[in-house]
Each structure stands twice: as structure tokens, then as C-alpha cells.
Structure 1
């Protein structure tokens, strides 16, 4: 099960050179605990495209946002290409890569 199906208040925060996913993660019986995961640990930038696995996408991104879509939460941003120009907005579906393990957000790799 993807994390978004068992979490509340899903959001992101850009903290300097990295981006963090935050949520109230379900632990059962309608109980939730604060949880966070540093997205730059596994998501990178490959010539203006999100790369998974990868790392440190935040360093070459602008307009970083979270979009809640029907198929889950998407991380979206404009990513810098090798030429130094920013590619149009790109997205990666976090629901395909992150799970909730008893109240901890974990990479599903």
C-alpha cells in the first residue's frame, strides 16, 4: 500500500538544499504520528528530468511543489538541464516510491 492511503496532511517543505516530505502517518486504530522523509536521498535530476534512484534534486530545481492527484501525490518542479536552462515542469509520482511502515515513511525500492 502506498503511503498516501494511510497518511493525513501530506505536504512538503524545502529546507535550504533539500526537500522533505511530511505527513501524519497511520499506525492503526485511527492513530497517526508525525513522520518525515528527505526526498533528496533517492530523487535526483538527470538533465532536467526527475531521476529515481538519484539524489539532491533540490540543488538544481525551482518552483518545487506537491500536487495531490487521483493517482497519488506528485512532486513537481522545473529542473535545470546540463545547459543551465530550466526544463518545463516535471513530475514524479511519490506514491510509486514511498510507503508507510508502521508510522515511518520509507522508500519502496
Structure 2
């Protein structure tokens, strides 16, 4: 995500949030903390992350986050439950696909 640094996730037990410092005013030294509730924009559909859904945390466990690869991709990983009861599988989603820094705030873009 352009113009962001120190990205991470936090959970309050019921919801998962992405936080970071976002550059604003086009000045390289001006950053402010921003946060977005991922459960407002990500769901769990048949054991897969779904953009535009909601409340993925309800069915997920082992939720983790990392910056990966040479392109520094922000990746959310979790075990999500499929359609057959307790068949959990590791899933991941690139958060930069639909979340960006807009004017110093982390925002979802469909």
C-alpha cells in the first residue's frame, strides 16, 4: 500500500482491525495513525475470504498478518471453516487489493 508504514493487525476478541501509519499532505515526513475494521469489508464465504462481506472473524481462528515478498504485499492469513462442519483450511488475502491510503486514512475501495 503506497504511503503506509508499520502496518499490523489487532483483535478485540470479536473483530479484527488493520492499523498503520499513513502519509498525508504528500510530504514524506507527515504520517498519522489510521485503522480500519476488517470485519466491515471481509467475510467468510464457504471457507474463503470474500471482499464486500462482513464478520470473517466470527468463523476464523489463527488470524495472522505479514508483509510478504519483494513487493511488500500485506497479507492476512487465517484458518476458515468450510461447508462441512469442522473442515478448517488455511486461507490468505492480499489486503492491498481493496484497501489503500486515501488522504492519510486506510480505506476500503470495492
TM-score by shorter chain over 0.5: yes
Q: Is the 8 A contact 1:67 1:75 kept in 2?
A: yes
- Residue matched to 1:5: 2
Q: Write the distance in 2 (CA, Å) between the matches of 1:63 and 1:90.
A: 11
Q: Is the 8 A contact 2:2 2:100 kept in 1?
A: no
Query: Unmatched 5+ residue regions in structure 2?
Result: none
- Residue matched to 1:94: 95
Give the superposition deviation at 1:16.
Answer: 1.6
For 1:55-94, list aligned pairs within 5 A. Answer: 55-70=54-69, 71=71, 72-94=73-95
Deviating beyond 3 angstroms after TM superposition, the runs of 4 or more aligned structure 1 residues are none
Q: Write the distance in 1 (CA, Å) between the matches of 2:76 and 2:34.
A: 17
- Provide the TM-score with structure 2 as the length reference: 0.90
User: Structure 1, residues 43-65: CA drift from partner, whole Å, max 9, x if none?
Assistant: 00011111112100000000101
Query: Unmatched 5+ residue regions in structure 1?
Result: none
- Give yes or no for the alignment of 1:15 onto 2:12: yes
Q: Is the 8 A contact 1:66 1:76 kept in 2?
A: yes
CA RMSD after TM alignment: 1.2
Aligned residue pairs: how many?
Answer: 106
- Provide the TM-score with structure 1 as the length reference: 0.91
Secondary structure at the counterpart of residue 5 of structure 1? coil
Give the superposition deviation at 1:86.
Answer: 3.9
